[in-house]
């Protein structure tokens, strides 16, 4: 979207020295017509090159699972430098900074996650080819962190005073075995009972609105037995054989297509040597659905399949030592939904339409928004702008062309939700 010469001039002189108090109750189109908002929108576009460089710099600070502290410390410094108030770190490592409104409520929280899926030692140096950036984590959630900072920058430069308070968060533990621990801490402890609305910035395309949180259960399943020599102790019940039987039964589980329900055996391991009957074998399992009842149903089938594999191996080797199995929960993401006809979804759609970004699309995914959705707090997950490919792969890439449009959308949505 292009703006008037007045907006360009205002952006060039950092807008106006006075705080701009926006009238309450305005629609997206009315806010967009406000000269101060136009100028702030223009500053977002003008400042895009700076925040692309920040995205590169932050991506090159490793943030593997459970080791986000170095990147978190940098976000804390940037929050302070940007002028946010009460910048702090909570008990699990989330970084928070407040932008007080004229009133404490509505209290809007906007978050992007610090962590990536990639283990320690991954080469996270960014390769650049024009507007295309390639590196593990450059999009997920390098885009979210850069967009979060660009949003703060636009509001501060524009001196835009919201009615309600906005808290910005760089949170930990969104990916994998992190199990949404940052979001859980935020809603259950750090800001418990204080959050009225929530936005997670995760992904790129700004027309995608995640309003359905896909829930998941994750397990580590371990079979154990006496173990022994492959020749001398032949006939002992074998944990790997029991595991194989169980996985074969798991693979036969039927699940509904609507609501979409899925499962996967993601990792497997065990054994001592090629010439040993193992004393232990394990696998990790993930099951998902946006419907809690469908998730519970596949969970029951999964547990029955595990027990069946154990029983079959024990029965086959009935006189040669019994095996046991342990199911350990390694992740629970609650399912939830922000209704399609809710006020927050309507306001997000109105912003996308006012900025002429395209047709809004409602989607289901597993993000930090799962936690507030499950608690009944209005929440959506939105893209930060640009376009990405290959998320969670070593070849992950991000095209920053017109990325500022995603931040403009976030700015207009913030002004709408914090009225």
Same domain, 106 and 119: yes
Omega before 106 cis (within 30°)?
Answer: yes
397 three-state secondary structure = strand
Number of domains in the chain: 2
What the block records as the tokens of 23 is 């009238």
pLDDT grade for 15, boundaries at 50, 70 and 90: very low
Place of tokens 């979409």: 260
Residues 33, 166 within the same domain: yes
341 domain-assigned: yes
pLDDT recorded at residue 22 = 81
Task: Please identify, among 302, 333, 364, the residue that sits at the C-terminal boundary of a domain.
Answer: 333
* Within a domain: 13: no
Both tokens of 391, joined, read 């998320």
**Residues 390, 373 within the same domain:** yes
4 falls within a domain: no
Q: Are residues 115 and 23 both part of a single domain?
A: yes
What three-state secondary structure class fits 265? strand
The three-class DSSP label of residue 124 is coil
Q: Per the domain annotation, does 10 fall within a domain? A: no
How are beta strands 132-134 and 397-399 bridged, if at all?
A: antiparallel
> Which domain does 80 fall in, by range?
18-213+336-417
Q: How many CB atoms are closer than 10 A to CB 185?
A: 21
Co-location of 142 and 55 in the same domain: yes
Express each pLDDT in 71-97 by its tens digit. Answer: 999 999 999 999 999 999 999 999 999
**65-to-17, 19, 172, 177, 180 alpha-carbon distances in Å:** 43, 40, 9, 8, 11
The reply to whether 182 and 76 lie within a common domain is: yes
Does any domain span residue 6? no
Quick check: 286 and 264 in contact, CB under 8 A? yes
Same domain, 355 and 266: no
Question: Cα(352)–Cα(358) distance, rounded to whole angstroms?
Answer: 7
Assign 23 a pLDDT band (cuts: 50, 70, 90): confident
CATH at 263:
3.30.70.360
Give residue for tokens 């930090």. 368
What CATH number does the domain containing 358 carry? 3.40.630.10
**Is residue 351 within 8 Å of residue 151, measured between CB atoms?**
no
pTM for this model (two decimals): 0.89
Q: Does 313 share its domain with 369?
A: no
- Tell me the per-residue pLDDT of 194-249, one tens digit each, with 9 for 90 and over: 999 999 999 999 999 999 999 999 999 999 999 999 999 998 999 999 999 999 99
Virtual torsion, Cα 390, 185, 344, 410, nearest 10 deg: -50
DSSP-assigned letters across all residues of 313-337: HHHHTTTS---EEEEEEEEEE--EE
Report whether pLDDT(65) > 50: yes
124-181 confidence digits (pLDDT tens): 999 999 999 999 999 999 999 999 999 999 999 999 999 999 999 999 999 988 999 9
**What would the pLDDT profile of 337-393 be if each residue is shown by its tens digit?**
999 999 999 999 999 999 999 999 999 999 999 999 999 999 999 999 999 999 999
Question: With bands split at pLDDT 50, 70 and 90, how would you rate the model's confidence at 301?
Answer: very high
H or E element that contains 24: none
Q: How confident is the model at residue 20 (pLDDT cuts 50, 70, 90)?
A: confident
Q: Is 78 left (phi over 0), alpha (psi -120 to 50) or beta?
A: alpha
Two structure tokens written together for 182: 């940052």
């Amino acid at each position: 979207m292009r703006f008037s010469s007045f907006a360009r001039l205002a952006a060039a002189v950092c807008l106006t020295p006075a705080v701009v108090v926006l009238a309450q109750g305005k629609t997206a189109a009315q806010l967009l017509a406000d000269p101060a908002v136009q100028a702030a929108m223009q500053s977002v576009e003008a400042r895009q090159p700076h925040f692309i460089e920040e995205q590169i710099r932050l991506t090159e600070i490793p943030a593997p699972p459970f080791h986000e502290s170095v990147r978190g410390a940098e976000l804390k410094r940037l929050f302070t430098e940007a002028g946010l108030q009460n910048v702090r770190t909570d008990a699990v490592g989330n970084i928070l900074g407040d932008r007080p409104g004229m009133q404490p409520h509505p209290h809007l929280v906007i978050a992007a996650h610090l962590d990536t899926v990639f283990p320690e030692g991954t080469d996270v140096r960014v390769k650049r080819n024009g507007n295309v950036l390639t590196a593990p984590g450059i999009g997920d959630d390098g885009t979210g962190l850069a967009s979060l900072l660009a949003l703060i920058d636009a509001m501060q430069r524009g001196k835009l005073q919201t009615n309600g308070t906005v808290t910005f968060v760089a949170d930990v533990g969104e990916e994998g075995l992190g199990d949404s621990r940052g979001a859980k801490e935020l809603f259950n402890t750090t800001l418990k009972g204080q959050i009225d609305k929530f936005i997670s910035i995760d992904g790129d395309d700004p027309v995608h609105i995640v309003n359905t949180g896909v829930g998941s259960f994750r397990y580590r399943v371990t079979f154990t037995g006496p173990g022994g020599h492959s020749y001398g102790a032949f006939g002992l019940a074998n944990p790997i054989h029991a595991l194989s039987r169980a996985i074969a039964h798991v693979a036969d589980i039927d699940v509904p297509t609507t609501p979409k329900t899925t499962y996967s055996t993601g990792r497997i391991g065990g054994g001592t040597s090629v010439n040993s009957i193992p004393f232990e074998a394990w696998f990790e399992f993930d099951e998902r659905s946006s419907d809690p009842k469908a998730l519970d149903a596949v969970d029951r089938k999964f547990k029955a399949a595990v027990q069946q594999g154990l029983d079959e191996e024990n029965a086959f080797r009935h006189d040669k030592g019994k095996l046991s199995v342990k199911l350990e929960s390694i992740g629970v993401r609650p399912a939830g939904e922000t209704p399609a006809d809710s006020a927050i979804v309507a306001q997000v759609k109105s912003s996308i339409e006012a900025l002429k970004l395209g047709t809004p699309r409602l989607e289901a995914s597993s993000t930090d928004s799962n936690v507030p959705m499950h608690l009944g707090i209005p929440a959506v997950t939105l893209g930060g702008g640009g376009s990405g490919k290959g998320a969670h792969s070593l070849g992950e890439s991000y095209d920053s062309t017109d990325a500022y449009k995603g931040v403009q959308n976030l700015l207009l949505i913030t002004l709408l939700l914090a009225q």
